[in-house]
Structure formats: structure tokens, C-alpha cells
Structure 1
Amino acid sequence: MSERSENRNLHKTYTLMGADKKLYKSETPGTYGGNKKTKVYGRMDCPAALRAIAKWGYVKDRVFFADEQTAIEAGFRPCAACQREKYKIWKTLQTNH
């Protein structure tokens, strides 16, 4: 790897969504991914998200969060595929309102 490549990697930034739904730059990658159209968040290795990306490339609607609490505060709900238990709790709370 050249010195130039190494320097570029040292300054890599990631675009994350904050609780205020605004995007910001971070030197640390997000720990959760989401879909800004469906307002669903999940693990970075979510099988449903990976299938969607491979099948029809929902990459343009993909957002990233520093942590789960930020995703929730931004109004996103847990994914039914990779966050099954959290989704069940969320769903129960929605039907009781």
C-alpha cells in the first residue's frame, strides 16, 4: 500500500444520521443501518437488508446510525428480520396506543 493510500484511510469519514434526522460526518462507522423510506433499522449483517441490497440495490435509501438509541430517537423501528424480539415489543406497544 502506498503512503498516499495509507493517509487517505487515516482520514476516512462516514455519513451517519443523528437523532434529529440530519446527516453528519463521523470518523467512526455506524453500528446500525436503516432504510430512510421505510423507517426501519437493523444490524449491519441483517439478511433482509443484504438481500434487498443485492436484489434491487436499496443503497440509495440506506442510512447509518452510531447506535441503536439514535435510530429509535430518529423515529425508526426495529427490523422484523434481524431484531425479531425488539420488533415484537415495538409492535405490541403500537397496538396498545
Structure 2
Amino acid sequence: MPGKQYTLLDADRRPYLSATPGALGGHRRSRIYGRLDCPGALRHIAAGGYVTNRVFFADVETAVAAGYRPCAVCLRVEYRAWKAQQRG
């Protein structure tokens, strides 16, 4: 019997199956990625939203390559660096 499979996104935003769960979660519509325990995402999920647009990534590099930006809630330092780069 095969083990559990997880659906992750690759750098081209294509889903693929992985035996390893994603290290990061994201929101497809807003193109934001963050920690799986992000308080902001968990609030949205608890309120019944977010889940249909939830995606997962293996690592930061893949999330960034897919065009996602860091979450301002759970990845403040990374978000500030991203924001400064946008102003650049």
C-alpha cells in the first residue's frame, strides 16, 4: 500500500504529488506564501475561508520562483526585504 501523497506546486505553478508534505503554505489568489502555522492564515481558515485557494510548496525558492511573495504576518523580515526590493 503506497504512503500518503501530498499535492505541492512547482516553480511553474503546476501541481505535483510528493511523499513529503509541503514546508510552506500559500494562497493561490493573493500569491502569498508563509509558514503552515501562520496566525493570519489560520484565522482565515477558522472563519471558513482560504481553504479552496490553499497551495503548498516544498521550499521558499519554489514559492518565490512561482511568483509568490512572503507573508507580512508570519515572515515579517522576509516581507520587509521583499517590499524594499519592490521599491528599488
User: What interval of TM-score do these two structures reach, taking the shorter chain for normalisation?
Assistant: over 0.9
Query: What amino acid does structure 2 have at the position aligned with 1:47?
Result: P
In structure 1, the partner of 2:38 is 46
* Structure 2: gaps spanning 5 or more residues: none
Q: TM-score, normalised by structure 1?
A: 0.87
Residue 57 (structure 1) shift:
2.3
Among the aligned pairs, what percent are the same residue? 53
Aligned residue in 1 for 2:7 = 15
**Matches of 2:78 and 2:10, distance apart in 1:** 21
TM-score scaled to structure 2, two decimals?
0.96
Q: Aligned residue for 2:86? A: 94
1-structure distance, mates of 2:41, 2:11 = 21
- CA-based RMSD of the aligned residues comes to 0.9
The DSSP-based 3-state class of the residue aligned with 1:69 is helix
Query: Of 56, 60, 64, which aligns to 2:48?
Result: 56
Structure 2 residue matching 1:34: 3-state secondary structure: strand
Aligned to 1:72: 64
Runs of 4+ in 1 over 6 A off after TM superposition: none
SS in 1 for 2:77: helix
Larger radius of gyration: 1
Query: Paired residues, what number?
Result: 88
